[in-house]
Amino acid sequence: MKRIAIIEDDLAIRENYRDVMIRHGYQVDGYQDREQAIQAFTIQLPDLAIIDVGLGHEYDGGFLLCQQLRQLSATIPIIFLTARDNDFDTISGLRLGADDYLSKEIGLEHLMVRISALFRRANLHESIPATEDSVVVRGALVIDNDKMQVSWNSTLLDVTITEFWIIHALANKPSMVRSRQQLMSEANMLVDDNTITSHIKRIRKKFIQIDANFDEIKAIYGMGYRWDVTTESVR
Amino acid sequence: MAIKVGLRAKLFILSSLFLLLPWFAYQFVIEMESFLKSGQQQTLLGTTSGIAAALHERSSLFNTDINNNEGIKQGHDLYVYNLEQPMILDGEKNDWQSIINFKNHYPTQSTALTDSTTKGNNPVQFEQTLGKHNGYLYALFEVENPYPLIRNADSPQLNKADHLIIAMSSPQGELKRYIVSVTSDGWFNAYRYPENSLYTTQRHREKSIQGIWKTTSTGYNIELRFPLNLLGNKLGFQLNTRSNINSNNIDQQIMTSNLLDVKRLGSVLIPSPEIKNLLQAMSHTSSRLWVVDKFQRVIANTGDIHQAKGIWPDSLNDIEQSKQEDSLWLTIQKQFLSPIYELFLDKPDPSFTDIKENPTRLNDALITQALSGYSATQWRSSQDDKASILSAAQPIFVNGQVVGAVLAEETNHGLLSLRNETLEKLFNVLFTVLIVVGILLFGFMSTVVKRIRHLRDQSEAMLDQNGRLTGHFLASKQQDEIGDLSRSMEDMIKRLGQYHQYVEQLSARLSHELRTPVAIVRSSLENLAALPSDSQQQKYVIRSQQGIQRLNKILTNMSEASRIEQSLSHLDKQNIDLNELIKGCIQGYQMIYPNNVFTEDASSTSILIEADPDFIVQLLDKLVHNAVEFSPQEQAISFSIQVQQQHAILNIENKGPLLVEGTQQDLFQSMVSIRPEAHQHNAHLGLGLYIAKMICDYHDADLRIANNPDLTGVTVTITFPIIQHKP
């Protein structure tokens, strides 16, 4: 049974989330502040941590906790679940090594989908090579659906679950325009258009870090985005 | 029309009141001058009374025994002028030039010596001049006598030819008479005139009376002299000649007065050297002095009116000026100030003339008053009105009788120079002070005005067209009222800015704060939905979830503005083709809003602008969303792009309800929504145009919304700066 630690200063939310997760068959430990959580983590690490950014009197307690947890384990999936949904906090959280940064607006079902996706990715990480069916190749892009991994020119990209879903939604049907609404539902979230734009921007940057000439994601003004395959296939 | 008067102009007008100071100074000095004038009068009166004191009770100096009340008559009573040069007895008048103007003229007299009935045909007249020099009295007679009768050398009778009789009173008061009769031109001595003319053959030569007889073209000149000690106070002359050129009778006589009676003999006045000496001793008073006898005849005078400036000290400037010839101040004074002063200051003019018409008699009112026993002063103008002359007269008493008067005269030049000098110094100081104070005041005011203007410009620049705060207010560090104002404005703007920020972020904060409780409700509902429940319960759970979904959307919208603003601060601008972008967008909108018609009026040119395409799209999304909401379905939403110089102008027009006048700019404010009731179906927070405006601001674009010209709908106009335009 997977163990999830939820660090949230609001008792009602904590308990609600806990109930849902227990219902989905997880073992859940709730902590209301950083000290409690870190004490517990030094004894035993959870399989996944859901952290709120603001923890009681600590405004950035979640970020601090994420840092400490990453020191304890480099691989444990960490999700930020917070009411602070601005770009700055999002970028800060992801830079600290979180696997996803979610707004509290997200529905519980969407959250559970993400959690299970994360577990799946974590489990399959070091296991057998991917099966042919689960791999999508679009030029230099390779998407491994099982491991939820994306690589460009055989270089693995460090993407969040949300980003993976967006890339997958775009690249799965190349040359077809996907509207923001479509991307939102594919990525299991309900956010505003600007957040999608921010995600696309971050995804582009990640590709450009590997390949400065990356230009596969086209913005179709007024409609959405489109994946254009312009490179030779790597396989 | 209201005239704008700045602080500087006001100060200038106010400080022009300082210009009254020189006027007051001028008035003061003028007042002072009248004081000094009366002082000068008193001083001059003192001078005359001093001289008069020296002359009182000195009867020897005055002819006290002439006491006829008839006064004196020109020609009858004689005046002996002073001759400065030594005289040569030669019958010529060259050495008489100095007093030639004062000669007396004696015309032909009708009274004949005998009772001749025949009318004379030998008109004779003569001119006589009297002078004294070195103890001698000189007399010149210019006789006009075309037919003189000259005595034969052998004729014994002195009175049977042209002759001149001199009658005088001796110092003892006796009548003395002498006769001049010659046989030829040349030297002569007078003879004593016998008691009776019948005894004229008895000649008693009087050697002290000597002279020259000289024939001229019109008659003859007689020039003679005798010592003054022979002379008392009366003198007369009589020329006897023939009246008929055919007879040899000496029957025509011309006389200055009656020579037969000492009482009727004309008086003679010889200016007294003693009084003259006395006056000269007094001439240090720098006045022109006169002493007249009771007949107003001048006994003595001294001094020059041009030098008589009064007792005022000479200008001190002469000394100072010689010291600093080339100093700057002096140059300024000479070049600029003096010409100004000369415009309104009377300068003493030393070129005035004031010549007495008759220097032997002063018969003005002042003397008359003095001779009646009272001292008097008066100011009068010189003859040519160039100078003002002060006269003072004082009577001289002998034995209680007025025997004469002392007259002293001075010009006002000393006073005038003193006054001018004072005024010039005063004006120099005043103008210097005024100029310095003026410059200082003006400079001070300029800095004050500059600071106030700076404050105004700063405060104007604080707010943009929409009333949003822009930039920071830099307070002045000056510790005065303007500095205080500036600081309090800074404080005000800071607080206003805080409030502004608070209001602008209110929605974001609110959504942030609401998010946690909404999350609680939402997660609770979802948990509740997962529990087994009957359909009745399920119905309400679903409704609650719908409600919470809507609430969530509102919260998302509310925080959208602040999220966009954050993203805008790291804008990723690139060169994009506005035309192409809009075409793409219109295609998209046609798909999203299939019930509406989108038309485009754009040329196929490429219009390059520097912008972040994502944000431009968001901007268009907001505007189109608005337009679609207001537009009736069958009406087109039209796009048009024009290029004007360096700007691309995008118009998005939709038909439909009009904007209320005056609310256009308010629409761009956060959380302002002006919609008719019919359109308020959705969660509208009035953030759409606010976000649009924000995006425009970050792209240096101008966003305006207005009713279209034919009042059928609303046009949104965005003006982008373009970097390149290719047809």
Location of structure tokens 């308010």: B666
Q: HSE-up of B234 (CA within 13 Å, CB side)?
A: 27
Which sign does the torsion angle of CA B611, B615, B617, B620 carry?
Answer: negative
Least confident of B68-82, B147-161, B320-334, B356-370: B320-334
Taking the C-alpha atoms of residue A29 and residue B161, their distance in angstroms, rounded to an integer, is: 179
Of B552, B566, B614, the CB nearest to A219: B614
Taking the C-alpha atoms of residue B293 and residue B448, their distance in angstroms, rounded to an integer, is: 78
Q: What is the pLDDT of residues B611-670, one digit of tens each?
A: 888 888 888 888 888 888 888 877 888 888 888 888 888 888 888 888 777 666 667 766
Residues A218, A177 contacting (CB under 8 angstroms)? no
Contact A85 B519 (CB under 8 A): no
- B404 vs B176, B373, B400, CA distance in Å? 28, 9, 12
Q: Give the pLDDT confidence score for residue B723 in this predicted structure.
A: 79
Structure tokens at A109: 């079902």
Percent of chain B with pLDDT over 70: 86
Of B526, B560, B587, the CB nearest to A20: B526
Q: Give the pLDDT confidence score for residue B71 in this predicted structure.
A: 62
Name the residue of chain A whose CA is nearest to B578's CA. Answer: A221
B215 membership: H or E segment, kind and range: strand B205-215
Q: HSE-up of B88 (CA within 13 Å, CB side)?
A: 5
Name the residue of chain A whose CA is nearest to B584's CA. Answer: A221
End-to-end CA distance of chain B: 51
Q: Does A158 touch chain B (CB under 8 A)?
A: no
pTM (predicted TM-score): 0.52
Taking the C-alpha atoms of residue A180 and residue B349, their distance in angstroms, rounded to an integer, is: 107
Chain B residues contacting A via beta carbons under 8 Å: 512, 515-516, 518-520, 522-524, 526-527, 530, 552, 555-557, 559-560, 562-564, 566-567, 572, 581-582, 584-589, 591-592, 613-614, 616-618, 620-621
B301 membership: H or E segment, kind and range: strand B298-302
Please list every residue in chain B whose beta carbon sits closer than 8 Å to the beta carbon of residue A197.
567, 614, 618
Q: Give the pLDDT confidence score for residue B319 in this predicted structure.
A: 47
Q: What is the pLDDT of residues B1-34, one digit of tens each?
A: 567 788 888 888 888 888 888 888 889 988 988 8
Contact A105 B515 (CB under 8 A): yes
Averaging pLDDT over each range in A131-140, B499-508, B702-711, which range is the top one? B702-711
For the domain made up of B18-63+273-420, the CATH class stated in words is alpha beta
Location of structure tokens 């050398």: B153
Q: HSE-up of B447 (CA within 13 Å, CB side)?
A: 10
**CA-wise closest residue to B308 among B419, B388, B404, B395:** B388
Q: What is the pLDDT of residues B243-301, one digit of tens each?
A: 777 777 777 888 888 877 777 788 887 777 777 777 777 666 567 888 888 777 787 77
Of A192, A201, A224, the CB nearest to B556: A192
Contact B519 A222 (CB under 8 A): no
As a three-state string, the secondary structure of A36-63 is: HHHHHHHHCCCCEEEECCCECCECCHHH
Q: Does A10 touch chain B (CB under 8 A)?
A: yes
Structure tokens at B553: 């959307």
What is the CATH code for B78-266? 2.60.40.1190
End-to-end CA distance of chain A: 38
Structure tokens at A231: 């490179």
Averaging pLDDT over each range in B1-10, B344-353, B460-469, B574-583, which range is the top one? B574-583
Choosing among 1.10.287, 2.60.40, 2.40.160, 2.40.50, the CATH entry for B481-564 is 1.10.287
How far does B669 lie from chain A, in Å, by closest CA?
Answer: 20
Contact B581 A23 (CB under 8 A): no
ipTM score assigned to the predicted complex: 0.82
Please list every residue in chain B whose beta carbon sits closer than 8 Å to the beta carbon of residue A103.
515
Contact A87 B567 (CB under 8 A): yes
Taking the C-alpha atoms of residue B47 and residue B388, their distance in angstroms, rounded to an integer, is: 19
Of B526, B556, B566, the CB nearest to A86: B566
Residue A50, C-beta contacts closer than 8 angstroms, at least 6 positions apart:
A4, A5, A6, A7, A8, A17, A79, A81, A115
Taking the C-alpha atoms of residue A52 and residue A59, their distance in angstroms, rounded to an integer, is: 10
Please list every residue in chain B whose beta carbon sits closer than 8 Å to the beta carbon of residue A8.
none
Taking the C-alpha atoms of residue A11 and residue A15, their distance in angstroms, rounded to an integer, is: 6
**For domain B571-726, is the CATH number 3.90.700.10?**
no
Contact B530 A13 (CB under 8 A): no
Q: Give the pLDDT confidence score for residue B115 in this predicted structure.
A: 45
Please list every residue in chain A whose beta carbon sits closer than 8 Å to the beta carbon of residue B530.
20, 23
Which residues, in sequence order, are bridge partners of residue A47?
A: none
How far does B645 lie from chain A, in Å, by closest CA?
Answer: 26
Q: Where in chain B is the domain with CATH 3.30.565.10?
A: 571-726
Average model confidence (pLDDT) for chain B?
79
| Per-residue pLDDT at B312 exceeds 70 | no
Q: What is the DSSP string of chain A?
A: --EEEEE-S-HHHHHHHHHHHHHTT-EEEEESSHHHHHHHHHH---SEEEE-SSBTTBTTHHHHHHHHHHHH-SSS-EEEEES---HHHHHHHHHTT-SEEEETTS-HHHHHHHHHHHHHHHHHTTSSPPPSTTEEEETTEEEETTTTEEEETTEEE---HHHHHHHHHHHHSTTSEEEHHHHHHHTT----HHHHHHHHHHHHHHHHHH-TT---EEEETTTEEEE---S----
Domains and CATH numbers, chain A: 3-125 (3.40.50.2300), 129-234 (1.10.10.10)
3-class secondary structure, B235: strand
